[in-house]
Each structure stands twice: as structure tokens, then as C-alpha cells.
Amino acid sequence: MDQPSYHHGNLKRVIIDAALQAIGESGPAGWSLRELARRAGVSHAAPAHHFGDKQGLLTAVAAEGFALFADALERATADVWEVGVAYVRFAIDHRPYFEVMFRPELYRADDPSIQSAHERAAGVLITSARALSPSPEHDRMTTLAAWSLVHGFTSLWLSGALPESTDGDPEALARSMIRLVLGALR
């Protein structure tokens, strides 16, 4: 029996949305392009036609994720402490993107759209960390410490490793932790 064919106004968007749903359910490796096509209600060739292969599709996901991430961080720049909270909030609210973005082996990291959005996000993180740095010679170490702190906290939260992960407030906890640890730098 033939399956009905579907017409999609923006097939790329439909495929990316199906990938985000699949990533949310089984991670970035737990599905195939054929399965994704079935999920999206498109021909099995459509994902390959638009993205080439799974790595191409994950490149599009990472590029979109980094752009959204940069937007979220930029909105928080009025308060240097809130940049770290925005990092945590983004990861929790956009987990499928987050699960791909920091796994460069999954996508084409040299893709210009990824590089541009990644540089925007990194710029916010570097500028914010610089504001917390005790001196210019400590800027790089402060940036690494701040990034490690919020990324590590986020990873622990998302994996459920923290007792608070089940019913705690990740933003409040992150805010307190960031001020405690990074406030000591000042």
C-alpha cells in the first residue's frame, strides 16, 4: 500500500525539527536519516538531498544551535553574572541543540555558519569573563574557569547527577554557584 506523499513548504525546517525531536529522545547518534525521513513524513531521500549525510544535518543543527545560543548570551550581557545563568538556561531549554553543539566530531566544525555563530557566543563569554578577571594577565584563565564552571554544572544537571536535578531550580542554583566561585576572583 502506498504511503500518502506530503508537501512541505520548508522541507529543511521539517527535517531539522525531526532531528531535534530524535536527538531529544535518543541522543545525536541514536537514529538514522531513513528513520528521520519516516518520522518527518518525507521521502527517504529527502534528508540526504538537503543535507548530504547525517554529519551535514548535524552541521545545520549545530549552526542553528550556536546562533540561538549567541542570541541568548547577548541578551544577558547587561549583567555579567547572568551570562552564566543564560548558558545554563539555554542548555536546559534547548537540550537537543546543546547535545550536538559541544561535540564537534558530529558535525563540520569548519562550516562558516557554525564558525560565525560560535565566535559570537565565545565573544560574549570572553567579554563577560574579562569583566570578572582580577587582571588582564588572568583573562584567559578566568574565561576557562568560568566556562568550565557553567558547562560542568550544566552537564551534571542534564545528566541527573546532582540531587537537585529532580526538583531543584537550576537557574537559582547556578546563579548562587557562579557568584560564590567567580565572585572570589574579584
pLDDT computed for residue 102 by the predictor: 96
Would you tell me how many other CB atoms lie within 10 Å of the CB of residue 27? 13
pLDDT computed for residue 184 by the predictor: 81
Would you tell me how many other CB atoms lie within 10 Å of the CB of residue 90? 23
DSSP assignment of 104-158 equals: GGGS-TT-HHHHHHHHHHHHHHHHHHHHH-SSGGGHHHHHHHHHHHHHHHHHHHH
- CA end-to-end distance (rounded Å), the chain: 69
Per DSSP, which regions of 50-113 are E strands? none
pTM here is 0.90
Give me the average pLDDT of each 10-residue run along the chain (186 residues): 52 94 94 91 91 96 98 95 96 98 97 96 94 93 94 96 92 94 80
pLDDT computed for residue 17 by the predictor: 96
> Considering Cα of 125, then 127, then 132, then 138, what sign does the dihedral take?
positive
> Domains in the chain, start-ordered, CATH in brackets?
1-52 (1.10.10.60), 54-183 (1.10.357.10)
